[in-house]
A and B are shown apart, each in its own frame.
Chain A
Amino acid sequence: MSALAERLGPLRGQLPGRDAELPLAAPESEAALVELIQEASAGGLKVLPIGNGTRLGGVFGAPADLLVSTRAISGVVAYEPGDGTVTALAGTTMSDLAGAVAAGGHRLTPDVPRPREATLGGVIADGLSGGDRLRFGPTRHHVLGMRVLSSDGEITKTGGRLVKNVTGFELHRLYAGSGGSLCLILEASLRLFAAPAARACATFTCSSLEAALDIAERLSAPPLEPTAVYLSRKESSWSLIATLDGRSERVERERALVEERTQGAAWCEGADADALYTTVRDEAPRETEASALRISVRPSRVQQALHLLLRHSPNSAPYVHPLAGTVEVITDVDRALCVELRALGASVRVRGAADPGAASAGALEGRLKGAVDPHGIFCGEA
């Protein structure tokens, strides 16, 4: 470690659940990164791959010896608007990437909270989706291919830069959401969608959770297809914000449908709608020292999941995508709550605390870890 420590320099990082600061390396080239990983493997060091370190709650107490960030390896590798795909290095921030593709009339999905901080590699490794998941699907669906670095210092690729491609196993699907437990993502290609020509947001202020979810249900019925629907608690009321976007003809018609089905919407359009959409997107809980839960459940069971949560933690302020079936909330992590949520069929990820009811990885997951990370150095959590 000492020779390696000398090369690492003064950078230090703090992991949730760990008292001591850890050495942090942010190599500025792939060659340096490869060398570093090879040395870490040879020294038997546990490595936690990170981007800008904004989503470390999921690796609480990880047994890392070293944090390796890809933040300094950034930039758009290929963007051809006519192909509708973009390829970028892992350290590229989501806002830089969104800005690059906006020039060709594209929108970047996932539209994640605080995109100036989040890196492409970090978002994909974390499996983080934005509110636009409702319309466009989860992040992993848009990853077309990757280049990754394994623990033996080898760079391999999977998939490609094509919107349709069934050549070889889709290992990028395995790596997306693997949380730095299998490999280090160097580069990824994403499918793009058309930038919206118009946007409108409807805000509903409801006196009860049931009333808010009833409106959400009305917004989910075809042919309406909102881009995002957010639900959050504002002191004694609940706020539901629906974003409609796309061609202006579509937005106009969808707005009329919302007005037919609901009452009491406060509308904003254009730049005001963009600002509201961004504000609400960025209200997603930050992963700080506080413990948090990330819950994914069938949309029809969101209400039950929220009732369980509010019974356990009456004053909590969950941040909910009711139609996509996701809930994020800062709360004390309680074993009974996790058990009840999982009994409901919910997928629960504990952030910023130890998971009291986590199932141990199955035999297959163990074999996959051994296959992809033969030196067993990557200590992230899927």
Chain B
Amino acid sequence: MRLLKKEGLPVIPRGAGTGLAGGATPHEGGVVFKTSRMRRVLEVNERDRFARVEAGVVNVDLTSACSHHGLHYAPDPSSQQACTIGGNVANNSGGPHCFRYGATTRSILGLTVITADGEVLELGGPEPDPEGLDLVGCFVGCEGMLGVATEVSCRLIPTPETTETLLALFPSLDGACEAVTELIAANLEPSAIEILDRLTIEAVEASVLAAGYPDEADAVLLIDIDGLFEEVHATARDVEEIARSHGAFDVRTATDAKDRARLWAGRKGAFGAMGRIAPDLYVADVVVPRTRLKEVVLATTEICKARGLKLSNVFHAGDGNLHPNISYDRRDEEEVARVLDAGTEIMKKCVAVGGSLSGEHGIGLEKRDEMHRVFSEADLDAMLRVRAAWDPEERMNPGKAIPVRGCMEVKTKPLPVPAGGGRS
């Protein structure tokens, strides 16, 4: 990092490259700083329930490393088989079980960060509440614009005594959305509430990840409830009652751990399975108040229908985090334009009902220029000032997340092109 500072080169931090918003794309040249080879689990502390890991540790490997202590790491993005903890920190990544346990920021106690100047900072714990400003909280979700995390202290939580997985079958997507809104209003606290619609079900069932989702349903709710046996059983019965009151014609319970794993493998593999529908997939990521789910899901359907696009839905309903997925063919330029237009309209609708641009994928390049829909110039300037405090030369991941406006333009040296060409 000190060498890069000397050369005045932009630095683009990257974990496993699984991000979906272009956050790790070196679109202005510079040097990609990849942490995925830093993959040691340095410490698992059972008594104080934390792990210290290098940034390149793959998300699922952390839970594997601590499962024999009866502990696990809660954030579980769909890409958890590949994505890294460092990447999760940069994006404040989510996942289905964030409904109960929160996004990555709630699971990070401390960080080792290298700044653009090459300074190494030790921020936060593993102590639970260190003195001073919450620099860890400020850093998580910075999309690589404040520095590079190289080591992370992660909070671990006990593996629950039991987990019950329910699959509620609905004749309509509307009914499933209404049931979720009522589950939230009833203050039930499952650990995950996911919705899959018919097109998603068909794609998953036609793939190698076939999970046994029924073909007679137009939508399913996949719900995890964890905790003590008695509490889980009682909550499951309440969930079933609410689901049925909104039209669920069947509510199935996973019979064993294998069955449960199969249902979740289908959910987490859903994006990949959509390759069966079309060669390319636009995965939108927006978030809305949970009382507005049905209205926004209906609006996304209409937006895509009006543009002749094929839409499927698989999303974190409990958090109001929608993933309208549009299947398309990138070779068809006119179709690409319609997809992008639909994406913008969906964002507009979400913001109009009090929602926001991203629930878990981040802003990156994809939504950078949409930030004005949510924030004023003054709000964005406040972010830029904080960014400048960490990185006065603005060399960390330039041009991401915050729109480039007027005099705020980033000025960094372009990477020299080697003689005879080559790629930056």
Contacts and interface: CB of A to CB of B under 8 A. Distances in A.
Contacts of B184: 82-84
Contacts of B161: 222-223
Nearest to B288: A162
A178 B230 contact: no
Contact of B138 (A163, A167, A173, A222): A173
B397 to A, nearest CB: 12
B5 to A, nearest CB: 15
A311 interface: no
Given A140-B137, A348-B131, 19 more contacts: A80-B291, A82-B185, A82-B290, A83-B291, A84-B184, A156-B382, A162-B355, A164-B94, A164-B321, A165-B287, A166-B91, A166-B358, A176-B137, A177-B134, A182-B133, A254-B228, A296-B129, A299-B48, A382-B131
A326 B379 CA distance: 35
B320 A163 contact: yes
A58 B10 CA distance: 41
Contacts of A116: none
Interface stretch (B102-110, B204-212, B264-272, B296-304): B102-110
A166 B92 contact: yes
A92 interface: no
Contact of A137 (B106, B127, B356, B389): B106
Given A176-B134, A298-B128, A167 B188 contact: no
Interface in A339-365: 345-349, 361-362, 364-365
Interface in B241-286: none
A247 B129 contact: no
A247 B188 CA distance: 10
A174 B134 contact: yes
B330 to A, nearest CB: 26
Secondary structure type dominating chain B contacts = loop
Nearest to B50: A298
B357 interface: yes
11 contacts: A137-B102, A158-B379, A168-B371, A168-B375, A168-B379, A174-B137, A249-B233, A298-B127, A345-B127, A367-B390, A371-B385
A157 B375 contact: yes
A173 B137 CA distance: 5
A370 B363 contact: no
Interface in B303-335: 316, 319-321
B14 to A, nearest CB: 18
Interface in B372-393: 374-376, 378-383, 385-390, 392
A345 B17 CA distance: 35
A167 B356 contact: yes
Contacts of A182: 133
Given A82-B181, A138-B128, A253-B230, A168 B383 contact: yes
B414 interface: no
A154 interface: yes
A155 B378 CA distance: 8
A143 to B, nearest CB: 9
Interface string A136-173: 01101100000000100011111011111111111101
A173 B234 contact: no
A249 B321 contact: no
For B105, B137, B188, which residue has the most chain A Cβ atoms within 10 angstroms? Answer: B137
A182 B142 CA distance: 19
Q: Which 6 A-B pairs have the closest CB atoms?
A: A173-B137, A194-B187, A222-B158, A367-B389, A296-B129, A249-B230
Contacts of B129: 127, 129, 138, 296, 325-326, 347
Contacts of A173: 105, 134, 137-138, 140
